[in-house]
Structure 1
């Protein structure tokens, strides 16, 4: 029998006349059936969040920390259940799914600590004679209802990156999970229900994408935080009106390998960052630039390492490359690679599709305007190119509409700081792939990769407003 999953509004589990089936991209098995919220349900979610905010904003910091600690601990108790469902829903290899659950445990844990240190400051205001005996007190306040819209590729931890700071800062939140992987969010809602956060403080509304735009436009929503494609993200910003918006969008992450790099380490890390979980990460390696002096050796080793990666059943612990999220994604990848080859690119390895699977693929002789280079592939496909000088390599990295993260393999301190100052991205990762992330660091991009930052402390700052009180002590 197929399990049915309800949605969650105002502390209650609801059904509706509409349901969707969630099918595994690996074998087509049904992971469950999820009821969809209607526009009337969305209105109820807003009203319940409005009412709950009057309570959530008054919760003391120690209590918010306890709630977040509880959520972290309960996820840990259900670690394997969450991991298995992530793999069932979106085909992520089980080893990566378990790592994602561990990250979510960490994310809520760090949020519980950050809830205790949402600091303000005292500022002297007597910098001019007319302002003697005056003092400023600055404090952060929660802003209200936060609408969070999350993607399929990290269906637990990217949800955690929105829910955890919202709770830590005392806001109410409405979560619209990915339609391709909503069940993991429902499992999280079951934990939040028991956490002690007020009814209506967290609402979960699986629904159609066009219907959630009703809330994006709604003036009662004070912030929209979105992770997903650039096209959708910028559209949502355009219709959001005056509310705060943070966007964590796509990328075509680049990595530069200098002659002094540790090639053994670099090759293994770049292969994992390129093809792990089928490249379905916005900071997956997509463009690789290698100095001409080491290019032949790098190319040889990189092809060999790529061929070692296991492609197949995502439930087997040694699988690195599982399926893409659906057949349309695999077909799009196939079309883009074929188009590049037709226009002069060459395939070193890979280049074949089998239903939702696409082989790890390395392309050379790629032109900058080919889709596999200038757009986000979001699949196990990388381009490989040589360069003459480090300055040229940095220009190649910057020749992109995106700017999320970049990786640099070198031990030359001057080049390290040159890259840090010159690359137009949100994060420069030295001696590791651009796919690196630990969940308390500031994370976000520039250009078409969005704006605003996640990472618990930084997300809390986005979800609060500074307020100043001036004391006249004369």
Structure 2
């Protein structure tokens, strides 16, 4: 693993407060390579009291940051983007080492998504405008109604391991672009990658205290949510944790991006070869550890056998192994929790009659690319998000059955639909509750300037672009009465 941060000072990357790094007050924790199983390094660990200190730092920095001219903020955000691109290879190598993402996918995360998010947030800030309204309540021209936006204050940003830099940068960039200050709790599985991003802030000119970092485990994130100075929260992670955050953050703006059920529907008129490629990406991209993964393949009985045969053949071509090699297409799972859940779901399905095909090693955190056929609705793998490299295939008889299954989980992040018929695509897309439906495209496709988020147990709100800015600002309306000539009857309707 290459890094600008010398190993002797990694321990001090536990707490970023007031623009200075410290080790944290709760000792250290290991970050372990999913590939080798060996500890990569130890890093400073924060306590809940550190989280409270970071909140105080963010609060103290807020007044000055909120009144900083937007063109100054934009220049800082663009500079962060530039510096991230200059260090993108080092950050990518760190992501690969820490979470087992292939080096090609890690580079994609940094170059294509994470670094550009700072420039995009700068442009959104320059274009996040208010409105003026006519007076409709009185028969007068003396009123002026003006809407503007004000920042919330201190925002907690709690981010996951699977896109440790991308998801974090989206949230951080837009939160500070909106005029907020932030306390960021990164994933403990990607602590160094996130610290490398945080190292850029001061060099780019971001004032001390605008973004603070607390490394550690769940107790630190919980302390951020519990702190009364927290005025808004961004969280990406499990539905169970998201529900706890929502309960504790009542009456505060929230953007929660939670689990997905990924129905991947293939109808008889679909381009089967294209659907196979889409499913390969949907099921096995980053070993299935993506909230938008294809968690359930719903394949019409008329093309079921053809699809399964081609899908197995294509899966057998995957190059699975060391994620640091540019030829590798799928690496290990990130942690034991994900592995245990994957094993449990697959074992349950096989015990209930599913047939299994596996490709690749099963060693340590490596789990094979797994295809399950004869899958039925009573299996755990259909009822819960697996978050692993498994493709459960369910044979369906009709579009109506696909819609019924797609609506059955209580989750609703992204669905994928494969058909050549425009009317069918439109009607099925409308019938599914999901925040996004990708037609003739893998479930793992998203656009960084389009609204992203789910319904039901998949979350609250929409991130990216203006939707993020809207969530983390408050609308303020100012009504002016300029005086002048008074109307004899000012009431809008009159007569009462």
Q: TM-score range by the shorter chain?
A: over 0.9
Q: Note closer, same or farther for the CA distance 1:267–1:138 as it changes in structure 2 (3 Å cut).
A: same
- Deviations 1:392-412 (Å, cap 9, x if unpaired)? 212221121210000111221
- Deviations 1:414-463 (Å, cap 9, x if unpaired)? 11211221101111111101111122211110111111111122111110
2:15 matched to 1:12?
no
| 1:383 aligned residue (392, 405, 409) | 392
Q: What's the counterpart of residue 414 of structure 2?
A: 405
Structure 2 stretches lacking a partner, 5+ long: 1-5, 484-496
- Asked whether the equivalents of residues 146 and 174 of structure 1 are also in contact (C-alpha less than 8 Å), the reply is yes
Displacement of 1:9: 0.5
2:291 matched to 1:282?
yes
| 2:173 aligned residue (164, 180, 188) | 164
Per mean C-alpha deviation after superposition, the further-off stretch among 147-156 and 16-25 is 16-25
Q: What's the counterpart of residue 432 of structure 1?
A: 441
Q: How many residues are matched?
A: 473
> Aligned ranges for residues 264-283 of structure 1 at < 5 Å?
264-283=273-292
**Alpha-carbon RMSD:** 1.6
Structure with max Cα Rg: 2
Q: What's the counterpart of residue 450 of structure 2?
A: 441
CA distance in 2, matches of 1:238, 1:465: 21
2:185 matched to 1:176?
yes
Q: What's the counterpart of residue 302 of structure 1?
A: 311
Q: What's the counterpart of residue 366 of structure 1?
A: 375
CA distance in 1, matches of 2:34, 2:339: 11
2:351 matched to 1:342?
yes
- Deviations 1:7-39 (Å, cap 9, x if unpaired)? 210111112351111111101243322111233
- Asked whether the equivalents of residues 329 and 356 of structure 1 are also in contact (C-alpha less than 8 Å), the reply is no
Q: Secondary structure in 2 aligned to 1:311?
A: coil
Displacement of 1:140: 1.0
> Aligned ranges for residues 128-143 of structure 1 at < 5 Å?
128-130=137-139, 132-143=141-152
| 1:112 aligned residue (114, 122, 126) | 122
Q: What's the counterpart of residue 100 of structure 1?
A: 109
Q: Secondary structure in 2 aligned to 1:180?
A: helix
Q: What's the counterpart of residue 210 of structure 1?
A: 219
CA distance in 1, matches of 2:33, 2:216: 19
2:57 matched to 1:57?
no
Q: What's the counterpart of residue 488 of structure 2?
A: none
Structure 1 stretches lacking a partner, 5+ long: none
CA distance in 2, matches of 1:469, 1:461: 18
CA distance in 2, matches of 1:465, 1:308: 51
- Deviations 1:288-323 (Å, cap 9, x if unpaired)? 112222211111101111111111100111212110
Q: Secondary structure in 2 aligned to 1:81?
A: helix
Q: Note closer, same or farther for the CA distance 1:191–1:267 as it changes in structure 2 (3 Å cut).
A: same
- Asked whether the equivalents of residues 217 and 241 of structure 1 are also in contact (C-alpha less than 8 Å), the reply is no
- Asked whether the equivalents of residues 30 and 43 of structure 2 are also in contact (C-alpha less than 8 Å), the reply is yes
CA distance in 1, matches of 2:336, 2:228: 38
Q: Note closer, same or farther for the CA distance 1:32–1:193 as it changes in structure 2 (3 Å cut).
A: farther
